[in-house]
């Protein structure tokens, strides 16, 4: 394996090509352990935990695991059609790191969104076979009737789908406010489930994925890295 030089490290962190990264170093804005480094070819014997670029401490993990509080009015697409993209809320250097969201939230939905560049992490959380639960807070247009509740808990077949989907849990907070858990992530699934039983979702917010709740410290549009404990819990279902 080639030695880890500073330009290689920066490039792997999404700061562009090695040539771009060398230019950054030569601008005198890259520091390691508090010391500005001007030699882009300096060999790093061990991978540092952080590198500072323009005063910002950048963690050097190659695997990115991010939690975002997705706001309303933003698309979860790399090529948004009508609105801004969630990716515009992240530092642009992440765009070179092949980061994707774990499933999507509609433009009119808010709440917990996970993003990563690790395919196995994304697959584990998205796969209907694994059935990792996603919990949503739902505001309905009309009171939830007993019959609707029963139907959701026993399973509904959505248009253009072969298999029934069920509410794994359904908790009525008020007449029109419920929390629902589902094990899949089909297109507009929660909205379509309530429509299928004759109700209508007015507001939708994702509260949790598996064991992980939306961090109450995060305001809409804000994000943070997941801790390794959180990643392990998500992967191992504890």
Stretch that binds ligand URA, among 77-85, 87-95, 186-194, 214-222 (CB under 6 A): 186-194
The answer to whether the beta carbons of residues 147 and 124 sit under 8 Å apart is no
Question: In the annotation, is 106 catalytic?
Answer: yes
The catalytic residue among 20, 106, 108, 215 is 106
Smallest distance, ligand URA to C-beta of residue 119, A: 21
Stretch that binds ligand URA, among 43-51, 89-97, 161-169, 184-192 (CB under 6 A): 184-192
165 binds ligand URA (CB under 6 A): no
53 binds ligand URA (CB under 6 A): no
Binders of ligand URA: how many residues, by CB under 6 A? 8
Stretch that binds ligand URA, among 10-18, 151-159, 187-195, 209-217 (CB under 6 A): 187-195
Site residues for ligand URA, 83-142, by CB under 6 A, read: 105-106, 109
User: DSSP secondary-structure letter at 214?
Assistant: P
Strands 134-140 and 201-209: antiparallel
Q: What is the 3-state secondary structure (H, E, C) of 74-107?
A: EECCCCCCCCEEHHHHCCHHHHHHCCEECCCCCC
Contacts for 77-82 with beta carbons within 8 Å, 24 or more apart? Answer: 77/104, 82/107
Kindly tell me which of 7 and 137 has the beta carbon lying closer to ligand URA. Answer: 137
Q: Could you write out the DSSP letters of every residue in 15-74?
A: S-SHHHHHHHHHTT-EEETTEE---TTPBPSS--SEEEETTEEEE--SS-EEEEEEPTTE
Kindly tell me which of 11 and 189 has the beta carbon lying closer to ligand URA. Answer: 189
Catalytically active residues are 106
Residues that bind ligand URA (CB under 6 A): 105-106, 109, 188-191, 204
């Amino acid at each position: 394996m080639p030695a880890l030089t500073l330009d290689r490290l920066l490039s792997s962190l999404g700061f562009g090509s090695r040539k771009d990264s060398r230019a950054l170093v030569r601008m005198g804005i890259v520091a390691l352990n508090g010391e500005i480094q001007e030699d882009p070819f300096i060999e790093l014997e061990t991978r540092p935990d952080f590198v500072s670029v323009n005063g910002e401490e950048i963690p050097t993990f190659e695997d990115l695991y991010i939690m975002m509080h997705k706001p309303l009015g933003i698309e979860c697409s790399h090529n948004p059609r009508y609105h801004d993209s969630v990716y515009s809320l992240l530092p642009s250097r992440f765009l070179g790191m092949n980061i994707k969201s774990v499933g999507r939230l509609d433009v009119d939905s808010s709440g917990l969104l996970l993003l990563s560049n690790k395919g196995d992490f994304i697959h584990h959380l998205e796969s209907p076979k694994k059935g990792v639960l996603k919990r949503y807070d739902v505001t309905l247009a009309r009171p939830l009737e007993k019959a609707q509740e029963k139907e959701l808990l026993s399973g509904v077949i959505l248009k253009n789908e072969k298999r029934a989907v069920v509410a794994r849990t359904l908790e009525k907070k008020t007449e029109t406010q419920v929390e629902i858990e589902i094990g899949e992530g089909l297109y507009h699934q929660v909205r379509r489930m309530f429509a299928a039983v004759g109700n209508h979702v007015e507001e939708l917010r994702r509260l949790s994925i598996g064991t992980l709740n939306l961090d109450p410290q995060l305001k809409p549009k804000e994000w943070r890295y997941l801790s390794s404990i959180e990643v392990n819990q998500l992967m191992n279902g504890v």
